[in-house]
Amino acid sequence: MRNKFQKAGLVMTGIFAGILISLNFSANADRVAPASLPVEELRAFADVFNAIKQGYVEPVEDRKLINHAISGMLTGLDPHSAYLDAEAFKELQEGTQGEFGGLGIEVGMEDGFVKVVSPIEDTPAFRAGVQAGDLIVKLDDTPVKGMDLSDAVKMMRGKPNTSITLTIMRKGESAPVVVKLVREIIKVQSVRSKIIEPGFGYLRVSQFQENTATAVVEHLNKLMADGPLTGLVLDLRNDPGGLLHGAIGVSAAFLPADTLVVSTDGRTPDARREYRVDPEDYLRGRTRDFIRNLPAAAREVPMVVLVNGGSASASEIVAGALQDHKRATILGTQSFGKGSVQLVYDLSDGSSVHVTSSRWFTPDRHQLDQQGLQPDILMTVTQEDIDNGRDAVLNQALFELQKLVQLEE
């Protein structure tokens, strides 16, 4: 029996090695030579595979075991490398287009639990008080510990008007927080604006989608329709990020041409790159440069940018660029610290592998990943502000803008 087990293990080692060779070659053919495969470690994998197939309490499909192995291989690297099956990958793509079903939270993994990056504005999660940094430990009666991120996302998404209960561990709370949410179709309007006082504009970016930068230009034109602004608040609080070219396009609305916005650094030569205020970096194949429609005053108006612990990824790129170039004052609390680039490898069955290949750096070479941005002016929201429905951070931003204007005069 033992010989039979060992033989089966060797066969599985060969099969799995073949799979890895084909994946490794297709993913890296244009980049680096395929790495040699660790045969002894693969033999251990095959032994475990066979032990589960022969001894686990109930039958397990081969595909499920392989998928779990791939997922574990990636999630063990960092919070952002991941394996998404075909359905989860499709849902991720839908999210960047601005409409999808679910609870309205951007999530990642940390220590085996689902971590909330940010609740999306005006969604069930946002209205229920789910916060950036919350660790979701249970979905209904199912513990999250050890669950794949894609499986957790599947459980949280579902038909509109159906409910799910989240059990959350929150920093500063001694007992778990239990929240019951009703799923909705999530329609994200990524840009909003208004005049908050005569001459002072407010621009809110809640997510970086395909057309966010174009929408920012349109809103700036509306805000400036009656003349140049005296000051502008750019609100990136609880903005979980999104598309890179959207972040560069928004930065381009406030920075001079050819200004460095962000750079990446990684192990391979093609992982090291600079992104600038350049149509090639923000148009993404479009022929019409929407930045040309922007009033020149947009690059000169005094600015305050609002960030908090839910500001992540693309929103950190924009805030970091404006901060380093002394274009804006950053106000709020430390941002989330999601500053890494994932290469996406599309697999033949519709699933995808997301592998961290490099990390983001602001123009002054500040690493964003797991560090975030430190605001120029630190200001937290008090419980009294929340109870009174008062946005004290926005009020402070307006005060800071008025001081800047007085100094310039």
Provide the annotated active-site residues.
313, 324, 338
pLDDT in tens, 351-370: 888 888 899 999 999 999 98
Q: What does the pLDDT read at residue 11?
A: 45
Q: What is the pLDDT of residue 157?
A: 85
| Amino acid symbol at 149 | L
- Low-confidence stretches of the chain (pLDDT beneath 50): 1-2, 4-31, 96
* pLDDT (0 to 100) of residue 217: 96
State the pLDDT at residue 90. 66
> What confidence score (pLDDT) does residue 287 get?
72
